[in-house]
Amino acid sequence: MTPAARIEAAIDLIGRIESAVVPAERVVTPYLRERRYMGSKDRRAVTDLVYGALRARARLDWWLTRAGPGPGDGLERPRRTVLAALALIEGKGAGEIAALFDGGTYHPAPLAEAERALAEALAGEALVHAEQPLETRAECPAWLLPDFTEAFGDRVEAELAGFMGAAPLDLRVNALKGGRESARTALAQEGIETEPCPLSPLGLRLAGRPAIYGGPAYESGLVEVQDEGSQVVALLTGARPGGAVADFCAGAGGKTLALAAAMENRGTLVALDSEQKRLDRAAKRIKRAGVTNVERRRLLPGDPWLARRAGTFERVLVDAPCSGSGAWRRQPDARWRLTPEDLAAHCAAQAEILGQAAPLVAGGGRLIYATCSLLPSENERQVEAFLESRPDFSLLPAETVWAESIGEPPAAPSPFQGPYLLLTPARHGTDGFFAAILERRRRA
């Protein structure tokens, strides 16, 4: 593809994303799959431009309002967005942009007069401007800024800046198949360079974005794609060989596989979810990983299974559905799709799920509550409300549990906020994760 054809593809993709009701990834993936003529460099160039524009949406819109014609000018928004991204992110001049919009076959149509004026107005400007308000500089919906400020105080801008880049690709080494060094060696033989993750003893971080799927290390089940923060949450669960563990919101099984490896395929591990399709997707992963001790079960409203299994699990992991604010690097459009009503619904569901999961925990056992969110309403407040309603549970310091299950906790940057685990992209390079470990009192 020519550079201009890549620009046209990016305009097309952004238009599809903006009109879709699903996350950007679910638009981009099939779009690329259906266009087999696009080479790997073409795909990378197009997706880099698209995701770069998505990550800078608030700042680009600020500039389009300041320097460009208004929304009623008849110009297509995807073209204006890409034009602004070329000028403000890639630093292209007005002449370079005009040359790309040349009207050739599979190229963007020539710039309209207003678009040409916009390109000239943006030429030489920086993406960040001193007059931009904090929510614009931080790419944060204004209604969520108070929540993040509550969470981080005067660090809020630095913490939100951590979501602006692309997330790294992390792997978890499957201890059922081998160790971290043997996995590094196997991946190196595929031409894939890795470095040990700093927090997870099972984690490997890839250099760049190599093709991991389909390679021998992945297909043999030696490694699984899993963010380091997610690995840490699974380790803090403290699953042990021969124990009884429930993964209450198992989804497609990422943490289930980590728990099974920690249990060395011995004991009871039940993967629970309300959606059968998610559990079905886990089946292939379970087989590839060599996991044999997992029972997959769909939970239906009022399921009598919950009553039958009350008090029978040493560990219950609740990786609760949430806003996903901790994963904004991977889903940059998600921040703009989230509404106050969505957040309220997530919080209500989290409280309900905690109420369903808690009775499963045996006396002396632990309930691990986790989210990939950094919003207090989904994290600390949920735990506080739960403890008020369940005096038979108490909060364990995450630092103590880390020492038990992982080893010596890192001194800095600390992954703890009071008694909780709190990982952020800015401080730890992981997705944003919260976890609380709650222990149930033994019956007298």
Residues involved in catalysis:
372
Among 185, 203, 187, 205, smallest CA distance to 195 is for 205
Question: Is residue 179 classed as helix, strand or coil in its secondary structure?
Answer: coil
Task: Report CA 382 to chain centroid distance, whole Å.
Answer: 20
Rounded CA-CA distance 362/314 in Å is 6
Judge contact between 418 and 404, C-beta under 8 A. no
Rounded CA-CA distance 124/134 in Å is 22
Q: What is the CA radius of gyration of the chain?
A: 24
Judge contact between 291 and 257, C-beta under 8 A. yes
Judge contact between 314 and 362, C-beta under 8 A. yes
Question: Is residue 375 classed as helix, strand or coil in its secondary structure?
Answer: coil
Among 302, 301, 296, 317, smallest CA distance to 360 is for 317
Question: In the numeric block, which tokens belong to residue 398?
Answer: 């995450």
Rounded CA-CA distance 399/416 in Å is 7
Residue burial 335-371, b: 16+ Cβ < 10 Å; e: rest: bebbeeeebeebbeebeebbeebbbbbbeebbbbbbb
Q: How far is CA 424 from CA 326, 328, 346, 373, in A?
A: 7, 11, 20, 10
What DSSP element (H or E) covers 152? helix 145-152
